[in-house]
Amino acid sequence: MEDWRPEDYLRFSDERSRPARDLLARIPLKAPELVYDLGCGPGNSTALLREAYPRAKLVGLDNSPTMLARARKDLPQVKFREADIATWPGDPNADLLYANASFQWVPDHVSVLLRLLRGLKAGGVLALQMPDNLAEPSHRLMRETAKSGPFAKALRHAAGSREVIRTPNEYYTLLKPHCRSLDIWHTAYYHILDGVQGIVDFVSTTGLRPFLDPLDDTTRGQFVDAYRANLAKAYPAVPDGKVILRFPRLFLVAQV
C-alpha cells in the first residue's frame, strides 16, 4: 500500500483518540518507567501517553515514514523509531506496551501478542484496542462494491489486507495462560458525520486504503462513487442531514 497520509488521518483526531483514552484509563500502572507506543501513527496516541506518564521514557514505533515525520514534528521530546511491530523483538525492560488501532494490520497478530507477552517482565502490561468493524455496513460494502465494475480485477485481493478480529472467548483462551490478569471489553462508538461523504472521508485513510491504493485515478473515482451510493442505502441521514457511523472496537489489557 501507499504510505499513510497524516493530515487526512488527523482530520478525525477526536474520534480516533477517544478509544485511545478509554484504553489508557484501564491500564493498572501508576508510574511506568519505559513505555512503547506500538503503531504510533502521527503521534496522537503518543501525546496521550506523554500526558498520562510525563516522567516515563516514551518510545513510538511505526513503519510509516510520513506518520513518523508528523509525530516527530508534534512531539520533538519523544523518541520515535521506524519499525514493523510484526517483527519488532520487544524490550524486556518495558513496563507498558500500548497499541491503539494497529494490531488489526498485523498478520497472525495473536502469535505476535503471545511473543510480546512472553517477553514482558513481571508486572508489565500489554494494552491494545482494535477496530472490530469488518461486519459493519461501512466495511462489508467495501468488499461488495469491489466485486463488480471495472475495478474488480485490481481489487480481488484487497479484502484480505486486514486481520479478522477474534471473539473475546478466543483471546482469553489464547492469552490468559501467559498473564496473571486479562481485562477484555467491547465498545461500539457512534460517530456523527457529515453525510455518507463523511464516512468515505473517515475510512479513506484506514480501512478503505487497500481498496483505493491499487486503482488509478479513473477507476478509483468510479469505485468511490459506487461505494458512496451503496453507503447511502445503509446509512440514512438523520433530520439534520448527519449520518451516524457505528464503530465497534475490542480492548485487551494483559498484565504478566
What is the rounded CA–CA span in Å between residue 186 and residue 251?
6
pLDDT at 11: 55
Cα-only R_g, the chain: 19
Q: Is residue 55 part of a domain?
A: yes
What is the rounded CA–CA span in Å between residue 57 and residue 36?
9
Q: Is residue 31 part of a domain?
A: yes
Cell 474488480 sits at which residue? 152
Provide the CA 15 distance to its chain's centre, in angstroms: 12
What is the rounded CA–CA span in Å between residue 68 and residue 75?
10
pLDDT at 206: 84
Q: What is the pLDDT of residues 20-63, one digit of tens each?
A: 999 999 999 999 999 999 999 999 999 999 999 999 999 999 99
Q: What is the pLDDT of residues 134-164, one digit of tens each?
A: 999 999 999 999 998 899 999 988 877 678 8
Q: Is residue 129 part of a domain?
A: yes
Q: What is the pLDDT of residues 76-109, one digit of tens each?
A: 999 999 999 999 999 999 999 999 999 999 999 9
Domain of 222: which CATH number? Answer: 3.40.50.150
Return the sign of the alpha-carbon dihedral for residues 131, 133, 134, 140.
negative
Q: Is residue 1 part of a domain?
A: no
pLDDT at 157: 86
pLDDT at 4: 46
Q: Is residue 37 part of a domain?
A: yes
CB 62 within 8 A of CB 80: yes
For 153, the grid coordinates are 480485477
What is the rounded CA–CA span in Å between residue 41 and residue 29?
23
pLDDT at 10: 47
For 60, the grid coordinates are 513510538
Give the residues across from 57 on adjacent strands.
34
Q: What is the pLDDT of residues 187-224, one digit of tens each?
A: 999 999 999 999 999 998 888 989 999 999 999 999 99
How many domains in the chain?
1
CB 250 within 8 A of CB 168: yes
What are the helix and strand counts (H, E) for the chain? Answer: 10, 7
Q: Is residue 220 part of a domain?
A: yes
Q: Which domain holds residue 146?
A: 6-255
